[in-house]
Structure 1
């Protein structure tokens, strides 16, 4: 479930009542309803475009087009309560996670429609993004910042209209336009923040909630240092306790610390064979890129079990495996899917105003510090108005909260904090999982069981059967 991030590069609890103007806007028709095929699925879906107000306080004003895809239930007429999917990021679109139909939702879809919304500013809903240049991997951080500032300056979008609250109101207009009654909501990562905002704005529209990688109401996205450091420390501890890993990499933490110190003193110019083409290439390895790659690897326990091998080789001067892994996200288009300007619009309006000096000091970690330090300057360029934080209110809908114990961004304590306002929540913690649980082991069956009977106690003991991945000790890959 690669619903990145809360911020790979990297709550809202707005208790606002439904207004009559929003209700009037709900009469806007679905502009297009057609059969379509989206990357990641083989069968046909229903795709449609819905006009929604750019500013929900001005429903008669400017509009933007929202893209929605519906995977119809396999058994027609069995359930009237669909599952709405809210992707992560912020900046990821529903159309970019449709592969979850076969990974996590195949049992749910047997009896329910699955609805994927491209949040405003993402995917096919007017994506707010910057074009990547082939030479960006060779640019300095200052050059990359200049490219981003130029992209922001050339974008005419009203960034203040792209908030979590606006996306929640869009979701309600989609529900009404499609003619559904109370819906079930699945949110992953940032989608859990959006899902909480929706449940608080429209409690009568929510039948149940499933949140995977839960954002706490008080969570500030750039302040992820302690959670990232805890996940990294856990990896070091697990390697030290594993006979094979400890034998192969007995000085792993010292090697990591030495690499970090060297990179923080200045970037390293690497001359190596391009992992993609085998042609000679010059690579500028900076501390920020080093830590960013480490952080992204920690999202998946299977990936994290490769870290000792990557760190050890880099410490020995063999950077090729590390650089190859660094290129992985761009090679497979994962980072390219994230609408970076939408991500900044949300984070700069909702999170950075709460990133106080005290919080930055208490949450300090080498893994995230350099990125966190860049946010104030980036947000100054965005010039987006801050969104006032509201005290979280109670959510009465039954909720299933899923956490991976090894998650570096939304670990279990974040879900515990969110559950304080959800008296009917069940919390499942998976020991050997990271950021994303819904597609693992017996989770697809549990999702169906919960949605069928959200009031019932869920027996999730089968999730304890998910094994820990093995460590990679050599170039051949993980141990059998």
Structure 2
């Protein structure tokens, strides 16, 4: 599961910045629960409790990437919690049953990122990462309202070619208006606070007495809100790639620049990378400035189909591809080679990275806009605006979000929304030193009032520490013992770095080949890495 990701801008083209006998046993359990429970409480912090419109319907199901039988179901809730008799929407969930059912009253709720990703669609990734937890406890996945199967708010244009589209010519305002007009929903009701009420309604319906939470990226915000509103329902919490309540998602722009500087540093400190790509920062800046002048169009082989296709490389696509590649260690290792080749006039490696990352987020754009426009855009500070002007990536992101939110009618959350979570629930925070989106200082910020917490920084991880390291073992230990006692992050120090690719196929050097149409570059006096 690629967690994980905050979006590069708000247009569809730019949305690129998880045995049989056991299953049968669980079928009986959930059918019995469904028969016994006629309604589930759907509580609201602002109003008196309302009721779920109908009981969940639990059935055997199969999930993408997994060959077991699982349990899937749904509950029906009011779209607007203050209007119990108004429009109803279905909230879908899936259960990965425990291998040994030693804790039938507990489950781990895994919350996806985005905002806008489906937890159920990422079941295979969650299953791999949480395999030790699943030995004794169910894994619960819920498609947050507006995502996946839960009244999806999507604005995808299936006729738009990600290869040939010139994203610099897209009209964000017009696209936002068209997106809003195409959605049959009250978009003001798809923020995080309402979604937490859905999560709690599912817990109550299924009869779990306690939940352990795992939230990745934006999902860490959802986990913190669960801690705020329903602390009595929680046993432990893990926040991975932490988004503190005090931080607007829009601040990700400066984090991306930090991620680039860390990449330059890592290449310079690696003898092979430095030898093969000595002018990496200058190469990047040269290609970036060339594309700032005009896009480059080439006939290429589509990496997915091997058919001839037009590839329109714009500045936004170039920087967006590099940005998204930094989330994933295996693709991050390709970046120096791809940048170096682009500076030589060969854009095929960038095409490969762009194609790998173009469809990796699977973001529900409508839900994403409802969250960001109601919870984040009004928290932009003058310093954030100033910082954004210093970076093309941050500046274009901010500009796109502002234009989108001007046409997305979401009332802002009040100031209390951004207050740090004050809690004594055992909480594990995981940050990746190489993370291009949620840097380690964000984890420290979230820890401010968490009186029973530990924050570990994995020096070789990017975004999603538990997927790349022993972080998953730490989660299992926390869930098993219910406390942070004896949990330490020593295992995170293991060097799991991937070697940088020195060519298109391997991390081993090949004979140098001169390219006739290479772009001539001059090394700058100081690179970003030199300043660190």
Common topology (TM > 0.5): yes
Which residue among 106, 110, 118 is the counterpart of 2:143?
Answer: 118
Spell out, residue by residue over 1:10-61, the C-alpha distance to the aligned partner (whole angstroms, 9 max, x if none). 5xxxxx9846633x425x5433111100102211111111011211222333
Q: Answer with 315-324 or 281-290: which moved more.
A: 281-290
Contact 2:331 2:353 in 1 (8 A): no
- Determine the C-alpha separation between the residues in 1 that align with 2:119 and 2:308: 39
Name which of 189, 207, 214 aligns with 2:242: 214
Residue 386 of structure 1 corresponds to which residue in structure 2? 412
Q: Which moved more, 1:439-448 or 1:124-133?
A: 439-448
Q: Select the residue among 490, 506, 521 that pairs with 1:461.
A: 490
- 1:86 has 2:111 as partner: yes
**Larger-gyration structure (1/2):** 2
Residue 417 of structure 1 aligns to a residue whose secondary structure is helix
Cα 1:272–1:395 change in 2 (3 A) is same
1:224 maps to: 252
State the alpha-carbon separation in 2 of the partners of residues 478 and 30 from structure 1. 55
Q: 2:48 — aligned with what? A: 21
Whole-Å separation in 2 of the counterparts to 1:7 and 1:232: 17
For residue 312 of structure 2, give the secondary structure of its aligned residue in structure 1: strand
2:392 match: secondary structure: coil
**In structure 1, how many angstroms separate the alpha carbons of the residues matched to 2:424 and 2:223?**
13
Contact 2:245 2:421 in 1 (8 A): no
1:159 is the counterpart of 2:187? yes
**Distance verdict in 2 for CA 1:72–1:29, change over 3 Å:** farther
Change in Cα spacing, 1:34 to 1:468, as seen in structure 2 (3 Å) is: same
State whether residues 292 and 368 of structure 1, in contact with CA within 8 Å, keep that contact through their aligned partners in structure 2.
no
Q: 1:102 to 1:180 in 2, by over 3 A?
A: closer
TM-score normalised by structure 2 residue count: 0.84
CA distance in 2, matches of 1:291, 1:432: 23
398 and 233 in structure 1: CA distance in 2 versus 1, 3 angstrom threshold: same
Residue 79 of structure 1, CA deviation: 4.8
Q: 2:105 touches 2:207 (CA, 8 Å); kept in 1?
A: no
Unaligned runs of 5+ in 1: 11-15
Give 1:105's aligned residue.
Answer: 130
Within 5 Å, give how 1:265-414 maps onto structure 2: 265-330=293-358, 333-335=359-361, 337-363=362-388, 364-390=390-416, 391-414=419-442
1:95 aligns with 2:133: no
SS of match in other structure, 1:474: coil
Matched residue SS, 2:473: helix
State the Cα deviation string for residues 220-278 of structure 1 (Å, max 9, x = none). Answer: 11221221111111111111121111111111111111111112223222333333344
Residues 278, 109 of structure 1: alpha-carbon distance in 2 compared, 3 angstrom cutoff: closer
Is the CA contact 1:407–1:435 (under 8 Å) kept in the aligned structure 2?
yes
Q: Is 2:461 the partner of 1:433?
A: yes
Instruction: Tell me the distance in 1 between the aligned counterparts of 2:265 and 2:311.
Output: 31
Deviation at 1:117, TM superposition (A): 0.3
Aligned partner of 1:13 in structure 2 is: none
Calculate the TM-score normalised by the size of structure 1.
Answer: 0.93
Per-residue CA deviations over 1:383-431 (Å, capped at 9, x if unaligned) read 2222223133412211011111100111111010000021111111110
Q: Once structures 1 and 2 are overlaid, which stretch shifts more, 251-260 or 279-288?
A: 279-288
1:443 to partner: Cα distance: 2.7
1:131 matched to 2:131? The reply is no
- Of 385-394 and 47-56, more deviation after overlay is shown by 385-394
Question: Per the alignment, do residues 274 and 373 of structure 1 end up closer, same or farther by CA in structure 2, a change over 3 Å counting?
Answer: same
User: For the Cα contact (< 8 Å) 1:211–1:401, is it kept in 2?
Assistant: yes
Residue-pair matches, total:
470
Task: Tell me if structure 2 keeps the 8 A contact 1:93–1:119.
Answer: yes
Contact persistence 1:430–1:464 (CA under 8 A)? yes
Change (3 A) 1:163 1:149: same
Q: 1:187 corresponds to which residue?
A: 215
Partner of 2:5, secondary structure, is coil
* SS of residue paired to 1:423: coil
SS in 2 for 1:83: strand
- Does 2:500 match 1:471? yes
CA contact (8 A) 1:350 1:386 kept: yes
Residue range with higher mean Cα deviation, 456-465 or 416-425: 456-465
Considering only aligned residues, what root-mean-square deviation do their CA atoms show, in Å? 2.0
Contact 1:305 1:472 in 2 (8 A): yes
Unaligned runs of 5+ in 2: 9-14, 18-42, 510-532
The alpha carbon displacement at 1:68 in A equals 0.6
Partners of 2:326 and 2:435 within 8 A in 1: yes
